[in-house]
Amino acid sequence: DSGVTQTPKHLITATGQRVTLRCSPRSGDLSVYWYQQSLDQGLQFLIQYYNGEERAKGNILERFSAQQFPDLHSELNLSSLELGDSALYFCASSVVASGSYTDTQYFGPGTRLTVL
């Protein structure tokens, strides 16, 4: 158990819908990262928050957004869902992230999203 929790574990929805994935980082970790894992693309970095502020952006679609709340939990919002959005979404947390050194990232169990 990494100490990172994610809900829900599974999510089945239809195209065009909007869903929210939730992540609670390890106690004491200030950074939260979101990744998308699909079969043929490996782990794709989406976005990072550090202590409530957006820190870095990866290959995140405009239909997706995220935020980190004062209690440090984070939510990833996916809207106008398409079949291709079906994937595992992982949240990871770390203590800090500086520009030249990266802390270990602890991954949550993931949310499996299926878009029908």
Q: Report the interface residues with other proteins, using CB under 8 A.
A: 2, 33, 35, 41-45, 48, 55-58, 90, 92, 97-102, 104-110
Nearer residue to other proteins within complex by CB, 70 or 100: 100
Smallest distance from other proteins to CB 83, Å: 22
Smallest distance from other proteins to CB 33, Å: 8
Nearer residue to other proteins within complex by CB, 27 or 104: 104
Smallest distance from other proteins to CB 26, Å: 12
Partners of 81 in the beta sheet?
none
Whole-number Å distance between alpha carbons of 103 and 52: 18
| Secondary structure (3-state) at 18 | coil
CA distances from 36 to 7, 28, 64, 116 (A): 15, 24, 11, 18
What is the token pair recorded at 58?
Answer: 């990866």
Nearer residue to other proteins within complex by CB, 12 or 14: 12
Whole-number Å distance between alpha carbons of 90 and 86: 13
